[in-house]
Amino acid sequence: MLRVARRYLIGIALIGCFAPPLAAQVADGQPVQYANPMGELLSWTFSPQMQRELEIVDDQREKLKKLQADVTNETRDLYKTAYSGDRQEWMRKYNEIAGRLSRETDKRVQEILLPHQVRRLRQIVLQMRLSGAGYGSAAGLASGAVADELGLTEEQKRELKKKEQEISAEVQRKTREFYEQLREESEEELLGVLTAEQRRKLKELVGERFDWQQHTKAPAGDKRKSDATRDEASKGAPKSDGPAAKP
């Protein structure tokens, strides 16, 4: 358990370059926010495109690399302090320490960069977060400094969250419909090569359509039922005294 906790916490710190300061997870059916020790700004500065946009010089680049190494080392030690046999207490300790480390990391980034670089970096980070709004994500609007700057009320935040859920469901529905239409059009184009008789024969070979539910978990007891059915069928099966004769 201790080893798993260590790898898990280090993994959070090394999450993709575009991870927000709080990474949403789900635990026991409830959303949980895990603070990212890398903060909101640091990971973005290692993108070559971002470095060109901000005009980051070699001296700044070296300081940012050292900061990343320092935060990574501090995160490796974090699990020792945060680890607890009680899961809720463990998460509470982790978030408390990682949250503080996240704020310190952002502060150190701002000390390395010039004021105009920090301003532009924050603008771009906000653009990336708001880009999720096109897919129904309210995280970029309804949380943190943006919500404070816009003066969002608690009612508006709740409404944004509600809209987020509605839009997410709609996006999923439209995505499924799009891919189904694409599949049908592609299939029709391929089958256009066949003659009418060949298509008729293919239809007989394929049989009635079966929609494979890839992510559907088999109900409990199905394995026992199938085993029982197989055993029952084997009772009436003829016994073989040896290998089957070749035709």
Q: Where do the domains of the chain lie?
A: 2-135, 154-204
Coil, helix or strand at residue 84:
coil
pLDDT digits (tens, 9 = 90+) for 64-112: 999 999 999 888 887 777 666 677 877 888 888 888 899 999 999 999 9
Flag whether pLDDT at 144 surpasses 60.
yes
pLDDT digits (tens, 9 = 90+) for 180-210: 899 889 989 998 999 999 999 988 888 887 8
* Displacement of CA 237 from its chain's centroid (Å): 50
Report DSSP state, residue 43: G
What is the chain's mean pLDDT, rounded? 75
Q: What is the 3-state secondary structure (H, E, C) of 86-116?
A: CHHHHHHHHHHHHHHHHHHHHHHHHHHCCHH
DSSP H or E stretch at residue 25? strand 22-27
pLDDT of residue 55: 96
Q: Which comes out higher in pLDDT, residue 133 or 103? A: 103
Q: Which comes out higher in pLDDT, residue 170 or 226? A: 170
Reported pTM: 0.56
DSSP lists the bridge partners of residue 35 as 22
**Average pLDDT of span 45-62:** 95
By the 8 A CB rule, do 39 and 21 touch?
A: yes
Coil, helix or strand at residue 32:
strand
Residue 136 pLDDT class (50, 70, 90 cuts): low
- Token pair of 107 as six digits: 């502060």
By the 8 A CB rule, do 54 and 121 touch?
A: yes
How far apart are alpha carbons 137 and 50 in whole angstroms? 24
pLDDT of residue 107: 95
The CA–CA distances, whole Å, from 148 to 99, 141, 155, 162 equal 19, 10, 14, 19
